[in-house]
Copies of this chain bind each other. A is one copy, B any other.
Amino acid sequence: MQETTHALNGWYVTGLCEGEACFYVGFALRKKLKVGIETRPSFSLSLNQKDLRLLQSVEAYFGCGGIRYSRSDRTYKYEVRSVRDLVRKIIPHFERYPLQGAKKEDFERFADICRKVHANLHLNREHLKQIIEIAYEMNRSGVRKHQKQDLLRVLGEEKG
């Protein structure tokens, strides 16, 4: 008999995410884009491999995103990258069941950026500059591929 995932309580999901989830906005250099930089928001939740079934319940709860295995640290990562899903499913969840700790600030910046991206403001140089500034206020302990100044320099160089 196959075990099925069961419905999680919304507050439980937020509590789990308070400790384990990550709201992140990455940037990639893309010469084909007019502004030269791609904006890539993502929501992810990593758990030890013994909690795969729990992660599947989280995936079922949100109804979007996917799970993949990271061999290096023996974790499964649930991740949502679709801006449409972030704006329609992930963000509304955390507005209905708000984070209670320091991660709430990251979430608010993340929601702000996702909505700007959803409205295509990231394709405008001035708005993208703002988005980069907001993103670099988030997850300050993490490691980033690009320095903020390098991204801003690319924006300055590109001609509209």
CB A105 to nearest CB in B, in angstroms, measures: 9
Q: Could you give, for residues 28-51 of chain A, a 1 whenever the CB lies within 8 Å of some chain B CB and a 0 otherwise?
A: 000000000000000000011011
- Could you say how many copies of this chain the assembly holds? 2
Give CA–CA (A51, B99) in the complex, Å: 12
CB A97 to nearest CB in B, in angstroms, measures: 7
Main secondary structure of the interface of A (DSSP, over half): helix
Does A92 make an interface contact (CB < 8 A)? no
- What residues of chain B lie closer than 8 Å to A13, measured between beta carbons? 15
Point out the residue from B10, B12, B48 that lies within 8 Å of A100, measured CB to CB.
B12
Which residues of chain A in 1-34 are interfacial with respect to chain B, using CB atoms and an 8 Å cutoff?
Answer: 6, 8-20
CB A86 to nearest CB in B, in angstroms, measures: 20
Which residues of chain A in 70-128 are interfacial with respect to chain B, using CB atoms and an 8 Å cutoff?
Answer: 97, 100-102
- What residues of chain B lie closer than 8 Å to A47, measured between beta carbons? 19, 101
Does A154 make an interface contact (CB < 8 A)? no
Point out the residue from B50, B57, B97 that lies within 8 Å of A12, measured CB to CB.
B97
